[in-house]
Amino acid sequence: MDYTDIRSGKYTRVPMYRELRINSFDFMSLVKAMDLKGYCIFLESAGKTRDKGRFSFLCFNPVEIVSEENGNVRVTKNCNSGVQKCSIFEYIDAKLSEHVSPVSGEFGDFNGGYAGYSGSLSAGTLPVDKVSAEFLLIDEFVVFDNHTGKYHVCSVVYPDPADIESAIKKGETRLAELEHFILDMIADERIHFLPSKADDVIVEPAVSDEIFMQYTAMTRDKLAAQGIPLASVSRELHAHGRFSAFSFYMKLRGLSPSPYMYYMHLPHCRIAGSSPETHLKIKNGSMMMKPASGFTAAPQSRQGRSAARRELLRSDTDRGVHSVLVDLARDSLAASALDGTVTVKKFMDIEEYQNRLRIVTRINAILRPGTGIAKALSETLQACSITGMVTGEADSNEKLQVAGRSVAGYFGYNRSCDICVMTGCAVFDAAKAVIQGYALIHASVVADDVLLSAKVSAYPAVTCLGYALRG
Amino acid sequence: MVLVVDNYGSAANITAAMIRSLGSGAVVLSCSTDPRDVNIRDYSAVILTAGPGNLLYDALGSSLANQHGRIPLLGVCQGMEMIVRQHGGSVVNTGHVLSEDTLSHTGEGLFRGIGQRFRVALRRNHTIDKKNLPQVFETEAYSSDGAVQCLSIASERVYGTGFDPSNYRTEHGIKIFYNFLNLF
């Protein structure tokens, strides 16, 4: 490895890499082994193009665990735990500012930092909802490059300018240890890719179809009465029985390979899910949000796809929802952007994902100097923001199942972040699992159209996840 | 320094950024801010931004919606409704529709230098009740269905728009803010 970054003396936190001679079967065995060993986060991407999903990261051996509960941050490090009175995003920004780390890109934009999620996961159904965010501080991880097919293990060093060579030696020693450690783990833990017996699981919707539609109609009426343009409604399945979060994730990989896939073994729960939606990306001070809304099945033929694209863009409901999302994203970015830098690219473009067509728009901005990347994310999670949170009665009425959508991803010490919308996820605690899919609705005179939109948006996410859980 | 009041909409930050890009300072305050904590003399103008029409959190907005000419005031969507209500007018509910339209306008005031029939984005859950519009208001623009989309009280340095100049689908938004800042 080239040690230019360390020897430059410019950086106080530098990742070192070593290639691992393993294959994809070994890699998933490693994920399983790490999951059994302790807290870990697997951020995987199933995309195959250069634009999306080149790198996947398996983060392990967390240095620190931070969670947000009742507005305070709990920090656990070396078995010691303490509470700080600040938001988790303020805490993360403060920690990230303590070090300078290189932006290389060779091994992806994540070179260590905080990985985790933020948001309400199960609308109060599980105890985990007392925690509104949870992140692991990661100094050691394995990165897989989709393009080269190579695996590298990474360990971070904190070089002392007076003795840089010692830091390099220490890093090399640690990488050698990690390589042996990983190869031993793989040897002890094999996974099989043959069809497995379905788990003995009972999966039931939290409310019936009829009640879900009634709730959705009530929400829509409330939005109309209060003049609120947009809300997100959730659809839940509850699962009881014997199941494994990891085997669920393995099935989900096959059923719903997505640009964003995540498996998190955190202190409060295990979370698994897949998402096509980028919420916020920041790299080299450039921010990007890409709201997506509406979808329709993509026909096989080229002519059929063209017709479906036109039909999607003609839908008043989908155009209305997307128009609101674009303005919410512009406003969210403007809160942390240099003035005059918020721009809209490819307004209402159509993207194809898993045989479905979606309306997407890219919104770009330049991060205001001195503004933290976690602060930039927090601005997108405010009330009446793009995550679909609403104020007023609709927000507090649990029966309406209105909740802001959650987000997952990482903040890097190189000031990069990549955060996705958790459009559908499964949350596992010791006794049960809750599957939740979100849909955006807005109040419109086209009432039936809105209800149908909410239903079809929420259903594929939950049914796919439910199918994965049942096997 | 322009005070931009955030009515929990999707416009306050982008409005403030547009104002700052015109060379003016701008600060955003939530509409839930206690009006007693705001000294209007600290500001050169006030913009009441768009937001939900339930008026649950409009303590600051309502208190600022009638300044009797002390300070230039621009109300956008809900902000305009607040101004009309504070002057004795009313609004009517039209259902909740997101749409685009073209405006016919006077070519003066906020619309100086802007051609007729330009595109605006409308979120028309409410519209001004023309039958009950106080005489103090001058109508400056109409949408294609005849609804009031801009009005003014020139003597009080007050303007209101039923469309949002900061909306991505509204044309000439920055020019409208420029005109507002340079009217008085």
Q: Reply yes or no on whether the pLDDT at B164 is more than 70.
A: yes
**B52 vs A228, A340, A442: nearest CB:** A228
Residue that has been written with the tokens 């103008």 in this structure: B45
Chain B contacts of A227, Cβ < 8 Å?
51-54, 78, 96, 123, 125-126
- Give residue A399's pLDDT: 37
Q: Reply yes or no on whether the pLDDT at B72 is more than 70.
A: yes
Domain limits of chain A? 4-188, 201-470
Check if A226 contacts B (Cβ < 8 Å). yes
CB A400 within 8 A of CB A228: no
The answer to whether the Cβ–Cβ distance between A229 and B12 falls below 8 Å is no
What does each C-alpha distance from A336 to A73, A322, A368, B64 come to in angstroms?
Answer: 23, 22, 6, 26
How far from each other are the two terminal CA atoms of chain B, in whole angstroms? 14
pLDDT band at residue A404, thresholds of 50, 70 and 90?
Answer: low
Contacts with B, A 136-175, CB within 8 Å: none
Q: Which of A216, A266, A223, A202 is nearest to A408 (CA)?
A: A266
Check if A205 contacts B (Cβ < 8 Å). no
Dump strand ranges (E) for A354-431: 356-366, 407-412, 417-421, 424-428
CB A225 within 8 A of CB A211: no
DSSP, res A384? T
Residue that has been written with the tokens 């220490």 in this structure: A170
The answer to whether the Cβ–Cβ distance between A391 and B56 falls below 8 Å is yes
Q: Reply yes or no on whether the pLDDT at A397 is more than 50.
A: no
Chain B contacts of A339, Cβ < 8 Å?
17-18, 20-21
Prediction ipTM score? 0.89
Question: CA-CA distance, A58 to A37, in Å (whole number)?
Answer: 13
Q: Does domain B2-181 have CATH number 3.40.50.880?
A: yes
Report which listed range, A62-66, A185-189, A231-235, A304-308, is most confident: A62-66
* Shared fold status for A4-188 and A201-470: yes
**A384 vs B10, B166, B168: nearest CB:** B10
Give the CATH number of domain A201-470: 3.60.120.10
Q: DSSP alpha helices (H): ranges in A151-262? A: 164-188, 209-226, 245-255
pTM: 0.87
Q: What is the pLDDT of residues A168-218, one digit of tens each?
A: 999 999 999 999 999 999 888 777 655 556 566 777 777 787 887 777 777
Q: What is the pLDDT of residues A256-290, one digit of tens each?
A: 778 899 999 999 888 998 888 889 999 999 999 99
Percent of chain A past pLDDT 70, that is, above it, reads 78
**B97 vs A326, A342, A444: nearest CB:** A444
CB B56 within 8 A of CB A390: no
Q: What is the pLDDT of residues A355-374, one digit of tens each?
A: 678 889 999 999 999 999 99
Q: Which of A38, A29, A33, A42 is nearest to A262 (CA)?
A: A42
Q: What is the pLDDT of residues A370-393, one digit of tens each?
A: 999 999 999 888 655 555 544 433
Token couple for A114: 């905080």
The answer to whether the Cβ–Cβ distance between A223 and B167 falls below 8 Å is no
Q: What is the pLDDT of residues B76-98, one digit of tens each?
A: 988 898 899 888 998 887 765 56
Residue A47's CB is within 10 A of a number of other CB atoms, namely: 17
Check if A440 contacts B (Cβ < 8 Å). no
Chain B contacts of A444, Cβ < 8 Å?
96-98
- Give residue A402's pLDDT: 45
Token couple for A182: 């990983």
Residue that has been written with the tokens 């659809």 in this structure: A235
CA–CA min distance B168, chain A (Å): 6
The answer to whether the Cβ–Cβ distance between B13 and A334 falls below 8 Å is yes
- Give residue A192's pLDDT: 64
Check if A324 contacts B (Cβ < 8 Å). yes
CA–CA min distance B54, chain A (Å): 4
- Give residue A277's pLDDT: 85
Q: Which residues make Cβ contacts (< 8 Å) with residue B64, sequence separation at least 6?
A: B3, B5, B35, B38, B40, B46, B48, B73
Higher pLDDT, B124 or A446: B124
Domain limits of chain B? 2-181
The answer to whether the Cβ–Cβ distance between A334 and B14 falls below 8 Å is yes
Question: Among the listed ranges A326-335, B64-73, B153-162, which one has the minimum average pLDDT value?
Answer: B64-73
Q: Which long-range contacts link A304-307 to residues 24+ away (Cβ below 8 Å)?
A: A305/A352, A305/A357
How far from each other are the two terminal CA atoms of chain A, in whole angstroms? 43
> What would the mean pLDDT of A461-471 be, rounded to a whole number?
65
Check if A229 contacts B (Cβ < 8 Å). yes
Q: Is B131 exposed, middle or buried (0-12, 13-18, 19+ CB in 10 A)?
A: exposed
Question: CA-CA distance, A250 to A157, in Å (whole number)?
Answer: 33
Q: DSSP alpha helices (H): ranges in A241-315? A: 245-255, 302-314
DSSP, res A105? B
- In CATH terms, the fold of domain A4-188 is Anthranilate synthase (3.60.120)
pLDDT band at residue A121, thresholds of 50, 70 and 90?
Answer: low
Chain A contacts of B174, Cβ < 8 Å?
none
What DSSP element (H or E) covers A237?
strand A231-241
Percent of chain A past pLDDT 90, that is, above it, reads 36
- Give residue B180's pLDDT: 95
Token couple for B161: 């728009």
The answer to whether the Cβ–Cβ distance between B54 and A225 falls below 8 Å is yes
Check if A340 contacts B (Cβ < 8 Å). yes
Question: CA-CA distance, A42 to A273, in Å (whole number)?
Answer: 11
**A384 vs B8, B126, B169: nearest CB:** B8
- Give residue B97's pLDDT: 59
Question: CA-CA distance, A358 to A179, in Å (whole number)?
Answer: 42
The CA-based angle B132-B40-B5, given to 5 degrees, is: 65
Radius of gyration of chain A (CA): 22
CB A117 within 8 A of CB A406: yes
Chain B contacts of A223, Cβ < 8 Å?
96
- Give residue B134's pLDDT: 93
Q: Reply yes or no on whether the pLDDT at B67 is more than 70.
A: yes
- Give residue A146's pLDDT: 84
**B21 vs A226, A229, A340: nearest CB:** A340
